[in-house]
Chain A
């Protein structure tokens, strides 16, 4: 059965801290891994990763994929209160289905 695991499930930090969120997966047919940020309702797209070792960056956020070890990390530097959200990792098993992890709930305190 396809599975995506995220850790930690919950994290509380202070503004300015750097955080690393983890995502590991087991899927039969891997096409890509995606990260989403969910604040209230709709998850919003952050990154799509298809190749190992190539870092994707967007401002203070960055992510990298390791297809050999079957995991990805999402880094957020200099966190701000606006980064407080649930971060979801999902794996696309060739378009039939996106398998989501349970999410990491990040709380950034002022």
Chain B
């Protein structure tokens, strides 16, 4: 157990809908990163938040957006869902000066 939690565990949406995924960081961690992991592939970096500010972004379109709250919990929002958005979405928290990221259990999103 890493202390990082995510909700919901599973989610089914249809194309064009919007979705919000949630992550609660490990206590004391002020940095959260979000990843998309398609079946059979390694995680792909979406973005990172540090103290409520976006601190880096991968190659994902603007319809992927995020928020980090003062308690360091975080949300990932995806608008206008596409079939290819079906994946496991992982969040990982870390202390800013440390390298190790601790992953949550993920949210499995299926877009029909």
Contact = CB atoms under 8 A, between A and B. Distances in A.
Contacts of A96: 48, 55-56
A42 B2 contact: yes
Report which residue of A36, A41, A90, A102 has the largest number of chain B beta carbons within 10 angstroms of its beta carbon.
A41
A75 to B, nearest CB: 20
B72 interface: no
Interface string A89-110: 0101001111111110000000
A4 B55 CA distance: 22
A32 interface: yes
Contacts of B102: 45
Contacts of B100: 34, 45, 48
Contacts, number: 66
A41 B105 contact: yes
Contacts of B90: 41-43
A17 B71 CA distance: 46
B42 interface: yes
Q: Which size class do A's interface residues fall under?
A: 20 to 34
Given A31-B99, A98-B33, A100-B43, A42 B105 contact: yes
Given A42-B2, A43-B90, A92 B99 contact: yes
A4 B41 CA distance: 12
Interface of B: 2, 4, 31, 33, 35, 40-45, 48, 55-56, 58, 88, 90, 92, 96, 99-106
Given A42-B104, A42-B105, A95-B56, 8 more contacts: A32-B99, A34-B101, A41-B88, A42-B103, A97-B56, A100-B35, A102-B40, A102-B42
14 contacts: A42-B2, A42-B103, A42-B104, A44-B103, A48-B100, A88-B43, A95-B31, A95-B55, A95-B56, A96-B56, A97-B58, A98-B33, A100-B35, A100-B45
